[in-house]
């Protein structure tokens, strides 16, 4: 299994450990799902996630029964944790579709063993993200007012507002990600149907596979549809975080009203998304013994993408500071000084440390293939990206134009409860997915085996 001759970095790390056949790949990946035994760590992790889901349910119930006053939001900071967490989760959700769609169009073969669970991660992250604006509405039971429908009140949503664009962007993103993910799953569901020995799994996977039989004509249409969906999802990924950034950029608050926001938000989203993929992939490959499929090559490539997008984010921070100074506008300049040296200054420096300084370690080649080092860096980036959104949302709002309207903000126990609860929901959903569906795309791995065989001959 030689590396590509055009590979200047001398990447000799394989995409797939040698010695695998169509059969061994199929058996290995499907056995994780079809085995009767569930490993202990699964129960422990799922259990922790489930307890946090209960915390989430408790907090949501309280927030609906009592009201959003339980959150720490108050004028001037009317967007608190809820929006910070929304942007954070949506950002994480960007890596899945990026890996599946953009890397597919670019013919990057290393996507094939990580795309499935990255897509699942996207779905769950977007689901977690969606909870926040919904609660933040104050009266979540009227959420359908956001959509245009013939109401007896005779009113309609305001399509000139980025907040309405957001509704369409996020719901489209979720729907398209779901379709893309399920389309990719169909052939694998057929594999599970054929491999299952017990009646019930056979029936359920059979229903979900919808009678897929791998006909050449079906594959032909399937591949074209899959490519087209990838082509549609690619501009979609870019548009979603752009629209999220419009929520801020269209407003006049110093620190928000900036044209750099769309590209810098998209880069940040990919950055945090890859960090989350690494955070999940590194323990999973170890626990399930999938080092053959998710190799050091995959980790290294993801580390490089993380480094590259991290540098774009760093450029974004630099330019924000530069523009604030260059604008010669007193409010912009004050915003920047306040961000660095104001009451929340420590957060800004922590963000620089986690998002910019620590990931520079990835320049060292040796560290790119050290799973646990990558894991720690990925965790740092996850935290750093959360701090970034906190700095953007809260620190910009708490001191804008009128000193008489300044104020301070901090999250309440319900803010933290909902946040931790969504992390639990994410973990619980992810582990259910791992237990019930193949976390690596089996048919694409067979294709990879075939291609690798062709190359070694």
CA distance 154 to 148: 11
Q: Is residue 257 classed exposed, middle or buried when 0-12, 13-18 and 19+ CB atoms within 10 A define those classes? A: middle
Kindly state whether residue 210 participates in binding other proteins, applying the rule CB under 8 A: yes
Name the packing angle between helices 413-436 and 115-136 (round to 10°): 150
- 77: which strand partners? 74
CA–CA separation, 422 and 93 (whole Å): 14
Determine, following the binding rule CB under 8 A, whether residue 126 of this chain makes contact with other proteins: no
List Cβ neighbours of 123 (8 Å cut-off, separation of 6 or more).
93, 96, 174, 177, 178, 181
Distance CA 106, CA 116 (A): 17
Of 21, 31, 38, 410, the one binding other proteins (CB under 8 A) is 21
Question: What tokens were used for 98?
Answer: 């990026």
Shortest separation between residue 164's beta carbon and other proteins, angstroms = 7
* Distant-in-sequence, close-in-space partners of 314: CB < 8 Å, separation ≥ 6: 355, 356
The residue from 211, 328, 365, 456 that contacts other proteins (CB under 8 A) is 211
Quick one: which of 110, 246, 390, 433 contacts other proteins (CB under 8 A)?
Answer: 246
Which DSSP state fits 282? Answer: H
**C-beta separation of 169 from 241 below 8 A:** no
Is the Cβ–Cβ distance between 303 and 374 less than 8 Å?
Answer: yes
Determine if 222 is a binding residue for other proteins (CB under 8 A): yes
- The minimum distance between CB 325 and other proteins, in angstroms, equals 30
Is the CB of 202 or the CB of 435 nearer to other proteins?
Answer: 202
Question: Distance between CA 284 and CA 371 in Å, rounded?
Answer: 11
Residue 9 is a binding residue for other proteins (CB under 8 A) = no
Q: Is 112 in the site for other proteins (CB under 8 A)?
A: no
**The only residue of 50, 145, 168, 331 in contact with other proteins, by rule CB under 8 A:** 168
105 sits near other proteins (criterion: CB under 8 A): no
Q: Which is nearer to other proteins, 202 or 286 (CB)?
A: 202
Q: By CB under 8 A, is residue 224 in contact with other proteins?
A: yes
Q: Does 450 bind other proteins (CB under 8 A)?
A: yes
CA distance 418 to 82: 9
Q: What is the nearest approach in angstroms of other proteins to the Cβ of residue 25?
A: 9
CA 430 to CA 125: how far, in whole Å? 10
**Binding of other proteins at residue 157 (CB under 8 A)?**
yes
Interface residue with other proteins among 38, 44, 47, 221 (CB under 8 A) is: 221
Identity of the residue, 336 or 442, whose beta carbon is nearer to other proteins in the bound complex: 442
In the DSSP assignment, the letter for residue 77 is B
Is 141 a binding residue for other proteins by CB under 8 A? The answer is no
**Hey, which residues between 27 and 66 contact other proteins (CB under 8 A)?**
27
**Across the strands, what pairs with 74?**
77
Binding test (CB under 8 A) with other proteins, winner from 60, 135, 236, 381: 236
Select from 8-16, 90-98, 193-201, 318-326 the region that touches other proteins (CB under 8 A).
193-201
**Residues lying near other proteins in the complex (CB under 8 A):** 21-23, 26-27, 148, 154-160, 162, 164-165, 168-169, 172, 175-176, 179-180, 182-183, 187, 190-191, 193-195, 210-225, 228-229, 232-233, 235-236, 239, 243, 246, 443-444, 446-447, 450
């Amino acid at each position: 299994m030689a590396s590509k001759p055009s590979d200047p970095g001398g990447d000799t790390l394989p995409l797939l450990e040698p010695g695998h056949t169509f059969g061994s790949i199929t058996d290995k990946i499907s056995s994780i799902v079809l085995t009767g035994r569930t490993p202990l760590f699964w129960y422990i992790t799922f259990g922790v996630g489930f307890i946090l889901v209960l915390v989430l349910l408790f907090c949501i119930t309280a927030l609906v029964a009592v009201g959003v006053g339980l959150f720490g939001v108050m004028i001037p900071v009317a967007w608190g944790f809820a929006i910070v967490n929304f942007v954070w989760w949506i950002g994480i959700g960007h890596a899945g579709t990026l890996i599946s769609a953009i890397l597919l169009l670019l013919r990057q073969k290393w996507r094939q063993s990580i795309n499935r669970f990255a897509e699942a991660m996207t779905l769950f992250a977007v689901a977690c993200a969606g909870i926040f604006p919904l609660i933040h509405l104050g009266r979540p039971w009227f959420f359908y007012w956001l959509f245009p429908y013939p109401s007896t009140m005779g009113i309609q949503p305001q399509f000139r507002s980025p907040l309405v664009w957001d509704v369409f962007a996020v719901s489209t993103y979720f729907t398209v990600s779901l379709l893309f993910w399920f389309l990719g799953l169909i052939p694998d569901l057929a594999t599970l149907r054929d491999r299952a020995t017990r009646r019930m799994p056979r029936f359920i996977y059979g229903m979900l596979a919808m009678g897929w039989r791998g006909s050449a004509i079906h594959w032909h249409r399937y591949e074209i549809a899959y490519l087209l969906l990838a082509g549609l999802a690619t501009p979609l990924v870019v548009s979603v975080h752009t629209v999220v950034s419009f929520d801020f950029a269209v407003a006049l608050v110093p620190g928000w009203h900036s044209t750099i926001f769309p590209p810098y938000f998209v880069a940040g989203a990919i950055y945090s998304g890859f960090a989350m993929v690494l955070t999940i992939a590194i323990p999973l490959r170890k626990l399930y013994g999938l080092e053959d499929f998710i190799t050091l090559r995959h980790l290294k490539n993801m580390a490089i993408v993380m480094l590259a997008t991290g540098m774009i984010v760093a450029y974004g921070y630099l330019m924000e500071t530069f523009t604030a100074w260059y604008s010669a506008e007193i409010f912009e300049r004050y915003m920047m000084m306040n961000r660095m040296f104001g009451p929340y200054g420590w957060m800004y420096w922590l963000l620089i440390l986690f998002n910019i300084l620590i990931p520079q370690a990835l320049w060292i080649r040796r560290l790119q293939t050290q799973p646990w080092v990558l894991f720690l860096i990925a965790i740092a980036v996850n935290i750093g990206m959360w701090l970034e959104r906190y700095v953007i949302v809260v620190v910009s709002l708490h001191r804008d134009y009128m000193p008489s309207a300044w104020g301070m903000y901090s999250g309440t126990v319900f803010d933290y409860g909902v946040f931790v609860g969504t992390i639990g929901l994410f973990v619980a959903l992810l582990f259910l997915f791992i237990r019930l569906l193949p976390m690596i795309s089996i048919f694409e791995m067979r294709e990879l085996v075939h291609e690798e065989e062709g190359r070694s001959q």
